[in-house]
A = this chain, B = another copy of it.
Amino acid sequence: MENKIPIFDKVTPSLLEAMPYQYAWKDINVCIETQEFTCLCPWTGHPDFAYIVINYIPDKNVIELKSLKMYLQSYRMVGMVHESVVNSILGDLVKVVKPKEMSIDIEFGIRGGITTTVSAQYFKK
């Protein structure tokens, strides 16, 4: 069977899309979780796997979920350290969705007997 799959070789923020939030006068919290994230270790080239939790209070926009899925897939062949992954995702999401608040927690799979979870927050000034 022929293989016609797009291979992303760098993080691609242009994949992210926002949708207008139809109740913009009303604060809600949106929590998005996925067990399906993988990037590469920049030192060894081996895959890293992670569990990601995103919480945000939308202002005028919400994240379009399919576009988020595509965006997260663009890390698949990219080497990046843990602390950079969380800052990279937070930065890209804030730019596109412009939320009132957003936090991201990423729990990376165990390496050398050690589990690492990295967390970052954004608050609109």
Contact = CB atoms under 8 A, between A and B. Distances in A.
State the main secondary structure of chain A at its contact with B. mixed
Interface of A: 1, 3-7, 9, 21-23, 26-36, 38, 40, 42, 45-47, 49, 58, 62, 65-66, 68-69, 73, 76-84, 86-87, 109-121
Nearest to A52: B114
B27 A120 contact: yes
Copies of this chain held together in the complex = 10
A47 B42 contact: no
7 contacts: A5-B40, A23-B87, A27-B120, A29-B120, A30-B83, A31-B119, A65-B116
Nearest to A63: B116
Contacts of A33: 114-117
A21 B112 contact: no
Contacts of A113: 34-36, 49, 69, 109-111
Contact of A32 (B31, B32, B73, B115): B115
A107 B82 CA distance: 26
B120 A28 contact: yes
B5 A77 contact: yes
A38 B33 CA distance: 18
